[in-house]
Amino acid sequence: MAKQLILDLKPEELAQKLQDMGQPKFRSVQLLDGLYKHHYDSFDRFPTLPKTLITQLESEFVLNPLELVSKLQSRDKKTEKFLFSLQDRKQIETVLMRYADRDTVCISSQVGCPLGCVFCATGQMGFTRNLSVGEILGQVLHCMRQLESEGKNLTNIVFMGMGEPFLNYSNVMEAIDRLIHPESMNFGARRITISTVGLTPKLKEFTQLDSQVNLAISLHAPTDELRSQLVPNNRLHPLKPLLAACREYVNKTKRRLSFEYALIEGVNDTDQHARQLISQIRGMLCHVNLIALNPSKNYPFPGSSSQRVQAFLAVLQEAGIPSSIRSRKGIEINAGCGQLAQAQESE
């Protein structure tokens, strides 16, 4: 039987476990500080815990939920992709991206993805299971340790890896609570972004939280007909109610919403598509992130040329739509958006 992941326990649950072990209350503070403030990766690194307690913890819990299987680095050394094995030998990928002014981790929320977006390698591989809270946090902690070893700090977290975060809503929200809580990791909510294809009921639920966490909607098409071809989830949650929920989010939170739009040559990248997009989002407090589609093995259409991307951007900007082109990173190591797919069982 697999040991319990200690990062899966809420702080109050961990405190109760220690109390059941006969430990004084201050031990839970020491343990939580070691986990979330010092980012220790093994129990024997906790200097304030007695050896008897360390032995007991090691017998009952797994501290690090991830085993590093491999690491790939892009040619410019600015992107690293980690392949992790989980306790059940399923695998996920996590990407660390380095910019001039920030260091961002792109984390996964599921093993695979059930939504089947046709251009996405993760969607092409299907769905296995949700990640637990500890497996989500483990990705962040791994990258924090990596950066700290270089004298740097993690600045941003994006839920843009494998999976649909809103289909693992409760675990993702609990992980975020742990990330931002002052007595836990104390990470700024405004430095976290959730990316979703737009599950309208969950978007409405998220809106009611009035969270400071950023929200990005993967739109990719301006009409229901085209979006349903690219993003099958659109058949369940079409554009009209989805965009109404987006406006509701903006009006309630007063926070700017991002729309992600992957440009595909000859599919969704014409000036007419740009004008259709403008008509859908005009007047909303939003920003459009454009990116040429990254290649994936089972999708035949290439990303748009740089000239077409610039032309699409020009149409949006002429209409006063805040928009920009997102840089593509780690494409040659399949670390770009929509390229994560190496979730297989370990030998």
- DSSP symbol at 5: E
CA–CA distance, 282 with 257 (Å, rounded to integer): 13
Print the SS3 string covering 70-104: EEEECCCCCEEEEEEECCCCCEEEEEEEECCCCEE
Residue listed under structure tokens 């307690």: 53
The answer to whether residues 26 and 131 touch, using CB atoms and an 8 Å cutoff, is: no
DSSP H stretches of helix in 216-293 = 224-230, 239-253, 271-281
Strands 79-85 and 91-98: antiparallel
Catalytic member of 113, 120, 286, 337: 337
Catalytic member of 93, 135, 164, 260: 93
| Closest C-alpha to 139, from 208, 182, 86 | 86
58 as an active site residue: the answer is no
337 as an active site residue: the answer is yes
What is the phi-psi region of residue 320: left when phi exceeds 0, alpha when psi lies from -120 to 50, beta otherwise?
left
Catalytic residues: 93, 337
